[in-house]
Structure 1
Amino acid sequence: MDGNNSATAGDAMSVYVDSAIHALRGRLMCHMFSPDLDALHAMARRIGIEQRWFQDPLTMAVSWPHYDLDQTRRAVAVELGAVICDRYQTVAMAAIIQGRPDKLRRIRALADPGRAFTPARHVPEWLAEQGFAQAWDW
């Protein structure tokens, strides 16, 4: 990976952390997420996060599945291969996770086409099924 933490096509990653940093109980927090819940939970275990902290839209009032991370665990996740996403990439991944191609089309119109980003391995197939080109530039 390069200094911008972008992945090449051959290095497709499946776990992501966002660049949104929010204060929560005196700590700076962000989100860790993936369309692949097994990969997400595996990364959580690797960085020392308990699965009971998983934010599950099936059981909680949240819009997408994720973990909240403090900055220390975010740094470890990135060292272990998590991909840093900007706000458009994060919202695009949330739309993919939610199965919302309509939302994804609107986001693509707003996103910076110059950003290097590789989605999870199964995302190109899902995008093709939804009518998007396989070589969709993020």
Structure 2
Amino acid sequence: MSVYVDSAIHALRGRLMCHMFSPDLDELHAMAERIGIEQRWFQDPLTMRVSWPHYDIDQTRRAIAIDLGAVVCDRYQTVAMAAIIQGRPDKLRRIRALADPSRAFAPATHVPAWLIEQGFAQIWNWEEADWPPESE
């Protein structure tokens, strides 16, 4: 399992921020500790009004996380990972539609191969009936 950082850069209180996330919360918290982020800054959908578990991190800590092995995601990869983390096949179907090479506008064609590379080969074919996936 990996820790991921997105490419979305947003200004927050004078700093440029992005998201750090993982399907494995233990690994996410371990990375947060390694880059100097306190666990109290964890954004937990069970206790807060956020849609998925993550940390907001600044650009300095993002660079450190990448040096320590965090995987950089573009917007489509991030949404696919969010679908996995949230258990949301509807989100995955939206990305799947944007990855269909037969469409005139298919900006996410790279996502299926990327998910396979990340160890989530089975996800691309998951349907609601198969959710959540059985662990291998």
Letter in 1 for 2:7: S
Structure 1 runs (4+) deviating above 4 angstroms are 118-121
Q: Name the counterpart of 1:48.
A: 36
Q: How does 1:87-102 map to 2 (within 5 A)?
A: 87-102=75-90
Bigger radius of gyration among the two: 2
Q: State the structure with bigger RCO (CA 8 A, min sep 6), 1 or 2.
A: 1
If each structure's helix is expressed as a fraction of its own residues, which one has the higher value?
Answer: 2
1:113/1:96 CA distance change after superposition, 3 Å: same
| TM-score of the superposed pair, with normalisation by structure 2 | 0.78
Unaligned runs of 5+ in 1: 1-12, 133-138
Q: Name the counterpart of 1:130.
A: 126
Q: How does 1:106-121 map to 2 (within 5 A)?
A: 106-111=94-99, 112-114=108-110, 117-118=114-115, 121=119
| TM-score of the superposed pair, with normalisation by structure 1 | 0.77
Q: Work out the CA distance in 1 between the residues paired with 2:31 and 2:53.
A: 14
Contact 1:55–1:67 (CA under 8 A) maintained in structure 2 = yes
Residue number among 44, 54, 59 corresponding to 1:66 in the alignment? 54
Identity level (%): 78
1:113/1:33 CA distance change after superposition, 3 Å: same
